[in-house]
Amino acid sequence: MTTAVTGATGQLGGLVIEALIERGVAPAEIVAVVRNADKAASLAERGVEIRVADYSDTAALTSAFGGVDKVLLISGSEVGQRIAQHTNVIDAAEAAGVSLIAYTSVLAADTSGISLAPEHKATEERLTASPIPAVFLRNGWYWENYLGSLGQAIDSGVWLGAGGDGKIAAATRADYAAAAAAALITDDQGGKIYELGGDERLTYAEFAEVLADVSGKPVVYKDVPESEYAAILQGAGLPDFVATMLASADAGISRGELDTDSGDLQALIGRPSTPVAEVLRSAL
Ligand SMILES: NC(=O)c1ccc[n+]([C@@H]2O[C@H](COP(=O)([O-])OP(=O)(O)OC[C@H]3O[C@@H](n4cnc5c(N)ncnc54)[C@H](OP(=O)(O)O)[C@@H]3O)[C@@H](O)[C@H]2O)c1
């Protein structure tokens, strides 16, 4: 049984490969599909097979999937290009005759209003139309998305956002990676849709309380409208499209679109998700 992981030199991809090996998959049965072989040196040293293919190159992807049974398609990071890129990956998997595609999507991809959702929805639709069985790993937000803002929040005493009193069921990349690995090594995954989020479902006000507790400094949540939040992020130097995307995600949080009580993550990984306080403590 050979499993290919795309985006293998990315943060999630590397963690998925670690999680597969931890779960007893032999490195020689893992194919890391990367666009830059130099970045994959440490994977090669562990005995993982490296194959080079860009998401834009269907022919290279088809040969990268030669002899592969299962493919984990990790969504690309080039927002706006992803429908074409993911379609190439799926075309290639079909041409190579793989038996299962797992795809890292986003929570409630078919109904979510956040700006990142349409590319995930379109990819899921392409997969549904494929003769290859597919499993959707609908990941929630990463807690890591927030770590770069902790210092400023602690210094200013304010956690700023546009999430209203919506709950967010985030989890660490490592927990999502463990869930992906668990799905990949389990039989009969075709057709399954996992809504993946952490066990602690927090509003931003509650998140600010945890941050205050862990840091020992007062931090309170201040909510602003989506457009004002985007403008603040732009003013802080973020590129326009990133500021707009983050503000859109916060608006989604206010509507409950990055929340889930499915229990799917815990069921797949066989343990509770990593506690938020632990994530913040190690970040600080
Ligand atoms: N749920 C969330 O909160 C959240 C947050 C951020 C991102 N995401 C999504 O989850 C994915 C994985 O997250 P991550 O943290 O692992 O992101 P990441 O570290 O940026 O990894 C993205 C991976 O995609 C690869 N890639 C991008 N464009 C490619 C192309 N044209 N051809 C081949 N490979 C390409 C990158 O290759 P290189 O290593 O060569 O750069 C990298 O390995 C992201 O790509 C994004 O779709 C989710």
Q: What residue segments make up the domains of the chain, in order of their start? A: 3-143+171-196, 146-167+199-260+271-283
The ligand 1 atom at the shortest distance from the C-alpha of residue 77 is 45
* Highest CATH level, class, for 3-143+171-196: alpha beta
Q: What is the pLDDT of residues 204-231, one digit of tens each?
A: 999 999 999 999 999 999 999 999 999 9
Q: What is the pLDDT of residues 36-95, one digit of tens each?
A: 999 999 999 999 999 999 999 999 999 999 999 999 999 999 999 999 999 999 999 999
pLDDT value, residue 192: 98
The ligand 1 atom at the shortest distance from the C-alpha of residue 56 is 31
Distance 10 CA to ligand 1 centre (A): 6
**Ligand 1 lined by 56 (C-beta under 6 Å):** yes
Nearest CA to ligand 1 atom 9: 75
**Ligand 1 lined by 160 (C-beta under 6 Å):** no
- CATH homologous superfamily for 146-167+199-260+271-283? UDP-galactose 4-epimerase, domain 1 (3.90.25.10)
Nearest CA to ligand 1 atom 46: 77
The ligand 1 atom at the shortest distance from the C-alpha of residue 140 is 1
Q: What mean pLDDT do residues 5-16 have?
A: 98
Q: What mean pLDDT do residues 243-252 have?
A: 96
Q: How much is the pTM?
A: 0.97
Tell me the pLDDT band of 34, cut-offs 50, 70 and 90. very high
pLDDT value, residue 149: 94
Q: What percent of the chain has pLDDT over 70?
A: 100
DSSP code per residue over the chain: --EEEESTTSHHHHHHHHHHHHTT--GGGEEEEES-GGGGHHHHHTTPEEEE--TT-HHHHHHHTTT-SEEEEPPPS-TTSHHHHHHHHHHHHHHHT-SEEEEEEETTTTT--STTHHHHHHHHHHHHTSSS-EEEEEE--BGGGGGGGHHHHHHHTEEEES-TT--B--B-HHHHHHHHHHHHTSS--TT-EEEE--S--B-HHHHHHHHHHHHTS--EEEE--HHHHHHHHHHTT--HHHHHHHHHHHHHHHTTTT-----HHHHHHTSPPPPHHHHHHHH-
Q: Which amino acid type is present at position 224?
A: V
pLDDT value, residue 93: 98
Distance 103 CA to ligand 1 centre (A): 12
Which pair of structure tokens corresponds to residue 91? 């075309």
**Ligand 1 lined by 103 (C-beta under 6 Å):** no
**Ligand 1 lined by 126 (C-beta under 6 Å):** no
